[in-house]
């Protein structure tokens, strides 16, 4: 969904540099995510996608550069300010990261208990609502994460990420490790949530079907920088060797043909 | 962000006098700012009027929590027989309200069933029985693996044995040495006063060396090792279970007991008697230093006397207990590790259980040893 470029970007990264000792992960990364957009970040394994995500959500301190979220610089924030920023975004981790000692319901309501003054009764209802919105059956609410299937665990993680009604959602590999049917379900869920709640999303993924179906814009990360940003249409005609390799392998071609058939 | 709290204005001065109430909803109805609204909406539900007009034109923001609060108020009012009209809500907010209302229809939270006392007791007993059976099965499994390993000593994995020997044995030397040294000091200190009164200063040698060699150093070393290494065994195996590494070992065709339990057990059975011997030495040394400074029993006299005070059998009963304690500690630690379920919480719980159980069993075994040795007049 292309936006008018005059609005403040939700995420704006400029000249970000990250290194661990000798190993330079990001050399010069710059990108912008517009409001209401589903922005996908792709790249080969180990190119620093997750590291970039961790830098944006304040889990990792990059070496230099600037990251602005909702128009505010997030690097070097004090704890209280960081907390107020963290309440405005939700994160779904690759492996769910649900608290294993709590049921799904408790995983969601815990966030609300921590950050709101709502009554317990209302919190329980809102948590049940979030669980329902992510398409989980009611029985799942009282189950523990270890009792859930992979797809259900992803949905439960998404329900927790949505607990505080964030404006911005980060999804790390939302469809990784899922069967095609569950993955399609997640694709639809992401689109529905964006349409219903007007969320901005940043997705890290390897799933080409997800990219074709869901992403508004895609950034390809490689060689320590953003190689190219554009819609999947634009990227699929790119001449850059890394991108050609990524999108025109056997899998890439199949997903591309699939996407064409739909249109 | 323009922070402004959500508001509710109740206006009873509606056209048809007392029958209709207008409720104006104002401001951002979002999760961060609607906490106060909850009570107010409950108050609205208490009103006696039967017609409500919710004027929602001034709602500036609405999220799912706000929409839910609105929805639940409307349904509660309608259920009590009132007529509710919602007007002026922005179209995008209406979509959200419909979504929330729709999601609610299919779902109802299921409360976990509460159990009766008898039911709880039954379940507890059943779990305890299952645990006991599992423990027996584990003993059997370990014994079989051990027998097989002893029949083919070449099949034993000596590298992990050596590694465990260092971790559980060598690395524990400083703490075991320090604590038993202090224990020797304490015993000599306590005994000195009493013995001095009778002029029986020389018997400090008997007191320190007998109590250290026979009872205290084996017991204390075992308790330290249970806290240090037994808990580590439980946590390591438990974490491997959570991350499915145990299952992976099985599929590769390596027995987890053979790789994880046996080396630990062997290493500890070798290490604990050696640690006990070391604790004997440092404990007696502590007693010796106290004896010479407080009672005037010099090192020469002390060492002269020690041969008469302690028989070989006393020394050997102390050292002989150590392998049994080692077997208990490593067995309980590993067993509790395998008992871990799918969660991080359960790793912590089983680790605690392993330490408590192994210390309990070590002291129990020590008591049994005392009875048996007394019976055998050793």
Choose the closest CB to A128 out of B35, B65, B109.
Answer: B109
pLDDT average, residue stretch A129-140? 84
pLDDT at residue number B3: 44
pLDDT at residue number A3: 45
Residue A59 has pLDDT above 80, yes or no: yes
The CA distance from A255 to B253, in Å, is 38
Chosen domain end from B84, B104, B124: B104
pLDDT at residue number B180: 95
pLDDT average, residue stretch A90-112? 86
Task: Of A196-205, B133-142, B345-354, give the lowest mean pLDDT range.
Answer: A196-205
Residue B152 burial (C-beta neighbours within 10 Å; 0-12, 13-18, 19+): exposed
Within-domain flag for B121: no
For residue B301, which of B209, B202, B211 has the smallest C-alpha distance?
A: B202
Which string of DSSP letters, residue by residue, matches B66-104? HHHHHHHHHHHHHHTT-EEEEE---HHHHHHHHHHHHHH
B56 backbone dihedrals φ, ψ, rounded to 5°: -110, 15
Choose the closest CB to A125 out of B72, B92, B112.
Answer: B72
pLDDT average, residue stretch B28-46? 79
Residue B355 has pLDDT above 90, yes or no: yes
> In terms of domains, do B180 and B301 share one?
yes
Nearest-CA distance B104 → chain A (Å): 7
Within-domain flag for B175: yes
Task: Of A19-33, B128-142, B284-298, give the lowest mean pLDDT range.
Answer: A19-33
Choose the closest CB to A100 out of B104, B107, B345.
Answer: B345
Within-domain flag for B119: no
Helix (H) or strand (E) holding A151: helix A150-161
Residue B360 has pLDDT above 90, yes or no: yes
CATH of the domain at B36: 3.30.750.24
If one counts the domains in chain B, the total is 2
**Contact partners, residue A178, CB within 8 Å, separation at least 6:** A150, A151, A154, A186
The CA distance from B84 to B90, in Å, is 17
Within-domain flag for B120: no
> In terms of domains, do B237 and B100 share one?
no
pLDDT average, residue stretch B176-181? 96
For chain A, the average pLDDT equals 83
Query: Which residue would you say has higher pLDDT here, B157 or B237?
Result: B237
- Quick check: pTM over 0.80? no
Residue B49 has pLDDT above 80, yes or no: no
pLDDT at residue number B351: 95
pLDDT at residue number B368: 95
Cβ-defined contact of B341 to A197 (cutoff 8 Å)? no
Chain centroid to Cα B9, Å, comes to: 52
Within-domain flag for B173: yes
The CA distance from B326 to B218, in Å, is 10
> In terms of domains, do B194 and B76 share one?
no
> In terms of domains, do B146 and B241 share one?
yes
Q: Does A85 touch chain B (CB under 8 A)?
A: no
Q: And the tokens for A172?
A: 């790390």
Helix (H) or strand (E) holding A21: none
Q: What share of chain B in percent tops pLDDT 70?
A: 93
Domains of chain A: 1-88+166-263 (3.40.50.300), 98-165 (no CATH)
For residue B293, which of B185, B179, B182, B181 has the smallest C-alpha distance?
A: B185
Tokens 């869920």 sit on residue: A189
Contact B47, B18 (CB under 8 A): no
pLDDT average, residue stretch B168-196? 93
3-state helix, strand, coil in chain B (%, to 5): 75, 10, 15
> In terms of domains, do B273 and B361 share one?
yes
Give chain B positions within 8 Å (CB) of A122. 38, 68-69, 72
Within-domain flag for B240: yes
Give chain A positions within 8 Å (CB) of B243. none
Cβ-defined contact of A142 to B112 (cutoff 8 Å)? yes
Residue B72's domain spans which residues?
Answer: 7-104
Q: Does A107 touch chain B (CB under 8 A)?
A: no
Contact B350, B336 (CB under 8 A): yes
pLDDT at residue number B271: 96
Q: A43: helix, coil or strand?
A: coil
pLDDT at residue number B63: 83
For chain B, the average pLDDT equals 86
Q: Which of A113, A126, A197, A198 should we substitute to test contact with B (largest number of B Cβ atoms within 10 Å)?
A: A126
Residue B214 has pLDDT above 80, yes or no: yes
Q: Does A81 touch chain B (CB under 8 A)?
A: no
Contact A142, B77 (CB under 8 A): no
Query: Which residue would you say has higher pLDDT here, A257 or B82?
Result: B82
Give chain B positions within 8 Å (CB) of A69. none
The CA distance from B341 to B344, in Å, is 9
The CA distance from A49 to A60, in Å, is 13
Within-domain flag for B114: no
Residue B210 has pLDDT above 50, yes or no: yes
> In terms of domains, do B99 and B163 share one?
no
Contact A47, A60 (CB under 8 A): no
> In terms of domains, do B153 and B237 share one?
yes
Each residue of A15-51: pLDDT tens digit? 888 888 788 888 888 888 888 899 999 887 778 888 8
Each residue of B222-260: pLDDT tens digit? 999 999 999 999 999 999 988 888 888 888 778 889 889
> In terms of domains, do B230 and B304 share one?
yes
Each residue of B328-346: pLDDT tens digit? 999 999 999 999 987 788 8
Contact B86, B73 (CB under 8 A): no
> In terms of domains, do B100 and B180 share one?
no
Q: What share of chain B in percent tops pLDDT 90?
A: 45
Residue B16 has pLDDT above 80, yes or no: no
> In terms of domains, do B244 and B369 share one?
yes
Q: Does A110 touch chain B (CB under 8 A)?
A: no
> In terms of domains, do B162 and B232 share one?
yes
> In terms of domains, do B77 and B142 share one?
no
Q: What share of chain A in percent tops pLDDT 70?
A: 92
Tokens 């204005």 sit on residue: B9
Instruction: Give ipTM to 2 decimals.
Output: 0.73
Residue B57 has pLDDT above 90, yes or no: no
Q: What is the CA radius of gyration of chain A?
A: 18
Give chain A positions within 8 Å (CB) of B69. 122
Which residues, listed in sequence order, are joined to residue B62 by a DSSP beta bridge? B29
Q: Does B93 touch chain A (CB under 8 A)?
A: no
Q: What is the CA radius of gyration of chain B?
A: 36
Within-domain flag for B30: yes
pLDDT at residue number A147: 85
Residue A1 has pLDDT above 80, yes or no: no
């Amino acid at each position: 969904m292309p936006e008018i470029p005059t609005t403040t970007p939700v995420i704006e990264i400029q000249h970000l540099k990250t290194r661990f000792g000798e190993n330079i992960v990001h050399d010069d990364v710059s990108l912008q995510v517009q409001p209401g957009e589903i922005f996908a970040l792709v790249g080969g394994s180990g190119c620093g996608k997750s590291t970039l995500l961790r830098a944006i959500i304040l889990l990792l301190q990059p070496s230099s550069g600037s990251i602005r979220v909702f128009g505010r610089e997030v690097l070097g924030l004090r704890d209280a300010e960081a907390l107020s920023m963290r309440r405005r975004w939700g994160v779904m981790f690759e492996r769910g990261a649900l608290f294993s000692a709590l049921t799904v319901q408790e995983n969601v309501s815990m966030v609300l208990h921590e950050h709101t003054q709502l009554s317990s009764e209302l919190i329980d209802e809102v948590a049940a609502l979030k669980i329902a919105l992510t398409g989980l059956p009611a029985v799942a609410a009282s189950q523990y994460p270890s009792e859930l299937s992979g797809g259900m665990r992803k949905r439960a993680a998404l329900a927790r990420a949505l607990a505080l009604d964030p404006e911005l959602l980060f999804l790390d590999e939302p469809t990784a490790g899922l069967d095609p049917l569950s993955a399609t379900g997640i694709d639809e869920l992401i689109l529905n949530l964006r349409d219903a709640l007007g969320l901005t999303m940043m997705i890290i993924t390897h799933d080409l079907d997800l990219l074709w179906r869901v992403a508004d814009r895609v950034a390809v990360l490689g060689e320590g920088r953003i190689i190219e940003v554009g819609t999947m249409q634009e990227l699929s005609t790119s001449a850059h060797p890394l991108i050609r390799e990524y999108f025109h392998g056997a899998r890439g071609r199949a997903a591309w043909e699939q996407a064409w058939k739909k249109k | 962000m323009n922070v402004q709290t959500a508001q509710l204005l109740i206006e009873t001065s509606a056209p048809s006098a007392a029958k209709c109430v207008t409720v104006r909803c104002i401001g951002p109805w979002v999760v961060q700012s609607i906490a106060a609204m909850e009570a107010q909406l409950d108050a609205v539900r208490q009103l006696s009027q039967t017609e409500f007009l919710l004027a929602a034109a001034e709602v500036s923001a609405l999220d799912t929590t706000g929409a839910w609060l609105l929805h639940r108020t409307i349904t509660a009012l309608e259920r009590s027989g009132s007529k509710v009209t919602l007007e002026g809500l922005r179209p995008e907010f209406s979509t959200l309200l419909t979504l929330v209302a729709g999601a609610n229809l299919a779902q109802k939270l299921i409360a976990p069933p509460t159990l009766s006392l008898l039911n709880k007791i039954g379940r507890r007993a059943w779990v305890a029985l299952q645990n006991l059976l599992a423990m027996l099965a584990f003993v059997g499994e370990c014994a079989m693996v051990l027998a097989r390993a002893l029949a083919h000593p070449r099949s034993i994995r000596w590298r992990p044995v050596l590694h465990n020997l260092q971790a559980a044995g060598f690395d524990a030397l400083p703490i075991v040495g320090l604590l038993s040294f202090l224990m020797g000091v304490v015993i000599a200190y306590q005994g000195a006063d009493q013995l001095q009164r009778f002029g029986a200063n020389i018997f400090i040698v008997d007191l320190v060396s007998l109590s250290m060699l026979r009872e205290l150093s084996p017991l204390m070393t075992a308790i330290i090792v249970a806290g240090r290494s037994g808990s580590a065994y439980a946590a390591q195996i438990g974490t491997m279970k959570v991350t499915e590494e145990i299952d992976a070992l099985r599929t590769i065709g390596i027995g987890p007991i053979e790789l994880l339990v046996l080396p630990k057990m062997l290493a500890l059975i070798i290490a604990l008697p050696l640690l006990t011997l070391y604790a004997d030495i440092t404990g007696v040394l502590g007693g010796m230093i106290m004896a010479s400074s407080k009672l005037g029993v010099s090192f020469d006299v002390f060492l002269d006397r020690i041969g008469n005070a302690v028989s070989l059998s006393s020394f050997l009963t102390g050292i002989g207990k150590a392998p049994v304690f080692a077997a208990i500690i490593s067995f309980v630690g590993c067993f509790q590790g395998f008992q871990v379920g799918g969660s991080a919480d359960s790793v912590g719980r089983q680790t605690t259980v392993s330490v408590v159980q192994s210390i309990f069993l070590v002291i129990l075994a020590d008591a049994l040893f005392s009875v048996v040795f007394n019976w055998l007049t050793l």
